[in-house]
Structure 1
Amino acid sequence: MSETEPNAEALNAPLIPKIPPPAPPKPPTGRPVDIGEPPPGGGAPSSASTGGTDDAIVGEPLSASAKRRRRRNRGGGAAGGGAQGQGQSPAQGQGQKQGQGQGHKQGQGQSGRPPQGDATASGASKGAAAGSATGLGSSEPDTDGRSDGGGESKTQGQGQAKKGGSRNRNRSRNRNRAAQPVEAVLTDEDGPLDIDPKSLKKRQGKSRNGRAVGRYQMNVHVDSAGHTHIAVLEGRSLLEHYVSRPADDVSQIHGNIYLGRVENVLPGMEAAFIDIATPKNAVLYRGDITRDADDVEVADDARIEDVLKPKQLILCQVTKNPIGHKGARLTQEVSLPGRFVVLVPNSKTYGISKRLSDQERRRLRGILDRVKPEQHGVIVRTAAENVTSEEIERDVTRLLKQWEQIEALAAKQKRPALLYREPDMAVRVIREEFNEDYRAVIIDDAALHRDVHDYVSAISPATADRVQFYNPKAEKLPLFERYQITEQLRKALDRKVWLPSGGSLIIEHTEALTVIDVNTGRNVGSSSLEETVFRNNLEAAVEIARQLRLRDIGGIIVIDFIDMEIKPNRDELVRTFKEALARDKTRTQVFAVSDLGLVEMTRKRIGEGLLESFAEQCSVCNGRGVVLSSAVAGID
């Protein structure tokens, strides 16, 4: 075939893969490539180097069995022929360089990795080697690296590409199957246990005129963008709000378990950055590292650089979602939450919720002594009140099976991977919150309602009838508008909150902390100034506790109450504030009133708050809240 430039008709022709006639095999060009040999600079082997034992030397004659496999795989190779066959098109009509043109791109085809060996090089010998290694055939390039434009591609090279692509696809599917994380098992295959009528009656909760009566109500709304909004009402007042976005495998990963790889260790910070296969590396502090029971060489007080080494693979769990430019926070003390208990693998942790009565704690302690597994810790949750020993034992058994699956999956992985994924937001909130104190759970999405109803029917059959479906097409108002949730959410995004007596709160967020200022506003009182200030502060303390939960404010919080002269009034203020925070399941710590009248407190930050979920930084002031005046522009 003469070496000519392609004509206009050839350039405009569609890229249709063509199978050249069989030709005798050609001796290998360049250096032989062994199976699984990584390309220069590291990385995974290309599709041509992982085909099998008959492909050990690229370019050598195939055995009879290899030829049979090649013929069988031709159908699969042709099916994916868009990727494999198009790699020959530059050689047939477009005259691009063998390793750098479209053939190079198509050589990445199924595997998604660059071709092996000298596939990116130009020149006669390197171009031929690239053609063999990437499955582009053995078209003879000219002296400037162009293909001769003919149909000289060898059948062997094409067969290599087809087999390599087919096997690479199979290997990719197998890898994807192996990397699938363990999903939380929420129900048992055997169905719910038979519960005696006495225990069942205790869990049914109160009712009036055939309708359930409870302090709380949960409304779940799924919008057109796929966001799941969960609103918890106390009476008619919005108490908590959760939002789950479709991209929550990146931003909302709290509770997920990963196999992480240590990227670098910072002794000065007593921390390490861990790659957990998310866009941002996570951070693991020294205090969150657990020592392997079999590792007797590492002391409990060892420095972090003695415990963790770069490239080391570790099992870890996310305790705090990534926020802004900060990555997620990790711990090695893994825990698996169930409905009634929390399993703490490889731990001696043993405990029962303090929210339960002493009598109930004694009963549960006797059950826990019987069902507690060896080498693992168990914490009994508040939801275990009045449950039977069989239910607790089944919950422990289910969590043990999940942990065994996680360990088995971790043993197979050689790189960072997600091992366990927490269930959907709605199911998580139901698992953590729902009990007989809820009068209803109302959901406006049919599929989600079905999943939640099945879950509640399995864990709490006595309250399954409280899970209700709200049909937005049949109702006059959307779910959130009917219960005035949308209006309350808008108010919760404002910096100013009005108190019933006429006072107000000003809530300001900064990078370091959140500041709350209490004002009397229109509250002028009716007796003395001290009494007016005291009543205003008590009212503000209760509302601040609600706002912290509703806005999900975490970190350091400083509250500037109005100054009071009488010390018993200050003590009563702190007591009232702590009592209002007692119903908040997020860990809080409150300190005494300072000499300046400030109350300092902390609230555990798990993820982004309500404001961050619904707002974005202003493009004009870049989040400062002010714009420089025109007078500044005149300063030289």
Structure 2
Amino acid sequence: MSEDILINVTPFETRVALVEQGQVQELHVERSIQRGYVGNIYLGKVVRVLPGMQSAFIEIGLERAAFIHVADLRQNRKERIEGSPATPIEKLLFEGQSLIVQVTKDPIGTKGARLSTQISIAGRMLVYLPYDPHIGVSQKIDGEDNRQQLKERVQRIANSEEGGFIVRTQAEIATDEELQTDCVYLKKLWGIILQRLKSQGAPSTLYTELHLHQRVLRDVAHPNTGKIIVDSRMVYQQMLEWADVYTPALVDRIYHHSGSRPLFDTVRAEEEIQRALSRRVDLKSGGYLIIDQTEALTTVDVNTGGYVGGRNFGDTIFKTNLEASVAIARQLRLRNLGGIIILDFIDMEHHEHRESVLEELRNALAKDRTRITISGFSQLGLVEMTRKRTRESLSNLLCEPCPTCQSRGSVLTARSVCYEILREILREARQFNPKEFRVLASQDVVDLFLEEESQHLAQTGDFIGKSISLEVDSLYSQEQYDIILF
């Protein structure tokens, strides 16, 4: 099934939408002042080694020091393959040491970037591994004979003991000439990085990943991609030039959008972005999902809602869960949710129904390019899965914690605020002796004091022997208030 790619470009932001059958399946956002760091290569300096955690902090020039675990050091690769114990990090790194590192995960929340010394440079057909002299093949390429043929072709073309390669899925239909071009390009790029290494001190940037519109051509576009439409003439020209050199097969699929209607409006992408920031996702049947994202994990709860279309209750539940499986797979891509994900499907009595739902979920997730693992239903009836997280989710990128509710996701009721104000007045009355207390609060809080809570307000005034007046401040949120002493 073909997939169109829409690229919306502004001076401050580039957004990419992957559209299948008129519906947005995936969103990517790159802001000019918040470009991601995954794939960037740095000359870093070790600032702290933590033997107890078998980790180290590396200064690479970002706001926070980056983080590397002993398992991500290339010196331990052989031990990992053979199953031998890893060499302790304190024997491999020391404070002040300079180190070539690559970012594998962007800074997320309060965590710094995650690093690796196992450097890899991605091309269109191949991924170059300068420190790892072996040829690997992407797991997404099927057929043992096909995999072996590709491996032998790359070994013949590379014809070098310097480094190794991973064969990407695009290489399945590539000619020997295209593979050779990719191989030469990647080795030349590594040579440029080594030249920079000789002239720069730590911390410094040795290589910066491609811009989003170029990564789309390299990583996202595939043989079944339909049109690639961009609404910036300058970026359109850049993409044509880049594709002419590295991805000639895509040149005829790149189009410039010159219509008066905004590009993202043609597929209602703006509406999809707004829906992707909501907790609730409505299903066509009348059921719905509730998606909650926390720092530790993401939970997805499936509910039947208003759907009563089945022949019986069990049939209704089964059909809702089947529809939810497809919707969940799409939402994970759309929102870029990663880490541990817990799926709470509606309880099903029949074992075959549970297996069918799992199979539907696996089929829907097969389109996802991100690495995913799924377990079956647990004893509690939950499905546990993981999705590799390399960059911020859509909500973390576009939103920030709510200042009104202090990131709780809820606010105190007007009645709770009223009682808090009364307790504060009693507290102040013990310490000070003003003539009057004046309460500044939101309209809802003042209205409640004048109506249902008027008796408690009067009792408090009588108890402290002072008058209490009320004043509305339209700029105050429900939880905000001030008590002024006269």
TM-score by length of 1: 0.63
Distance (Å, rounded) in 2 between the aligned partners of 1:344 and 1:486: 39
Distance (Å, rounded) in 2 between the aligned partners of 1:304 and 1:255: 23
Distance (Å, rounded) in 1 between the aligned partners of 2:249 and 2:184: 23
More strand by share: 2
Deviation at 1:476, TM superposition (A): 3.1
Secondary structure class of the residue paired with 2:174: coil
Distance (Å, rounded) in 2 between the aligned partners of 1:284 and 1:447: 39
Deviation at 1:219, TM superposition (A): 0.6
Give matches, 1:84-233, under 5 Å: 215-223=2-10, 225-233=11-19
Deviation at 1:267, TM superposition (A): 1.3
Give the equivalent residue in structure 2 for 1:438: 225
Matching residue within 130, 136, 139 for 1:351: 136
> What are the superposed Cα offsets for residues 279-310 of structure 1, whole Å, 9 maximum, x if unpaired?
110000111012299xxxxx962211111100
Give the equivalent residue in structure 2 for 1:16: none
Give the equivalent residue in structure 1 for 2:32: 246
Larger mean Cα displacement after TM superposition, 598-607 or 609-618: 609-618
Give the equivalent residue in structure 2 for 1:365: 151
Q: Is the 8 A contact 2:55 2:67 kept in 1?
A: yes
Distance (Å, rounded) in 1 between the aligned partners of 2:111 and 2:173: 42
Distance (Å, rounded) in 1 between the aligned partners of 2:248 and 2:189: 23
Give matches, 1:292-331, under 5 Å: 301-331=86-116
Cα 1:460–1:261 shift into 2, 3 Å: closer
Deviation at 1:634, TM superposition (A): 4.5
> What are the superposed Cα offsets for residues 556-578 of structure 1, whole Å, 9 maximum, x if unpaired?
11111100111222122222212
Distance (Å, rounded) in 2 between the aligned partners of 1:407 and 1:292: 23
**Does residue 409 of structure 2 align to residue 622 of structure 1?**
no
Give the equivalent residue in structure 1 for 2:59: 275
Distance (Å, rounded) in 2 between the aligned partners of 1:422 and 1:460: 17
Matching residue within 42, 53, 58 for 1:258: 42
Gaps of 5+ in 1: 1-213, 294-298
Larger mean Cα displacement after TM superposition, 608-617 or 541-550: 608-617
Give the equivalent residue in structure 2 for 1:340: 125
Secondary structure class of the residue paired with 1:322: coil
Cα 1:598–1:427 shift into 2, 3 Å: same
Give matches, 1:211-610, under 5 Å: 215-223=2-10, 225-249=11-35, 252-291=36-75, 301-358=86-143, 360-372=146-158, 373-471=160-258, 475-610=259-394
Q: Is the 8 A contact 2:59 2:66 kept in 1?
A: yes
Deviation at 1:412, TM superposition (A): 2.7
Larger mean Cα displacement after TM superposition, 571-580 or 548-557: 571-580
Distance (Å, rounded) in 1 between the aligned partners of 2:192 and 2:376: 47
Distance (Å, rounded) in 2 between the aligned partners of 1:511 and 1:463: 39
Cα 1:598–1:407 shift into 2, 3 Å: same
Give the equivalent residue in structure 2 for 1:160: none
Distance (Å, rounded) in 2 between the aligned partners of 1:258 and 1:226: 25
Deviation at 1:352, TM superposition (A): 1.6
Cα 1:261–1:562 shift into 2, 3 Å: same
Q: Is the 8 A contact 1:259 1:276 kept in 2?
A: yes
Secondary structure class of the residue paired with 2:28: strand
What is the letter of the counterpart of residue 335 of structure 2? R
What is the letter of the counterpart of residue 235 of structure 2? L
Deviation at 1:626, TM superposition (A): 1.5
Deviation at 1:617, TM superposition (A): 1.7
What is the letter of the counterpart of residue 315 of structure 2? E
Cα 1:404–1:463 shift into 2, 3 Å: closer
What is the letter of the counterpart of residue 193 of structure 2? I
Aligned residues: 412
Q: Is the 8 A contact 1:504 1:520 kept in 2?
A: yes
Gaps of 5+ in 2: 78-83, 428-486
Cα 1:450–1:605 shift into 2, 3 Å: same
Deviation at 1:633, TM superposition (A): 4.7
Cα 1:242–1:368 shift into 2, 3 Å: same
What is the letter of the counterpart of residue 358 of structure 2? V
Secondary structure class of the residue paired with 2:5: strand
Q: C-alpha root-mean-square deviation of aligned residues, in Å? A: 1.8
Q: Is the 8 A contact 2:76 2:87 kept in 1?
A: no
Q: Is the 8 A contact 2:217 2:247 kept in 1?
A: no
Deviation at 1:349, TM superposition (A): 3.7
Distance (Å, rounded) in 2 between the aligned partners of 1:273 and 1:290: 16
Secondary structure class of the residue paired with 1:385: helix
Q: Is the 8 A contact 1:261 1:314 kept in 2?
A: yes
Matched residues, percent identical?
Answer: 39
Distance (Å, rounded) in 1 between the aligned partners of 2:15 and 2:187: 31
Q: Is the 8 A contact 1:371 1:393 kept in 2?
A: yes
TM-score by length of 2: 0.81
Larger Rg: 1
Q: Is the 8 A contact 1:262 1:275 kept in 2?
A: yes
> What are the superposed Cα offsets for residues 607-630 of structure 1, whole Å, 9 maximum, x if unpaired?
111112221221111211112331
Secondary structure class of the residue paired with 1:428: helix
Q: Is the 8 A contact 2:23 2:267 kept in 1?
A: no
Higher RCO (C-alpha under 8 Å, 6+ residues apart): 2
Distance (Å, rounded) in 2 between the aligned partners of 1:322 and 1:442: 30
Distance (Å, rounded) in 2 between the aligned partners of 1:301 and 1:482: 53
Secondary structure class of the residue paired with 1:343: strand
What is the letter of the counterpart of residue 175 of structure 2? T
Cα 1:420–1:567 shift into 2, 3 Å: same
Q: Is the 8 A contact 1:215 1:438 kept in 2?
A: yes
Cα 1:292–1:522 shift into 2, 3 Å: closer
Q: Is the 8 A contact 1:231 1:238 kept in 2?
A: yes
Q: Is the 8 A contact 1:291 1:300 kept in 2?
A: no
Secondary structure class of the residue paired with 1:391: helix
Deviation at 1:413, TM superposition (A): 2.5
Deviation at 1:317, TM superposition (A): 0.3
Cα 1:397–1:461 shift into 2, 3 Å: closer
What is the letter of the counterpart of residue 529 of structure 1? F
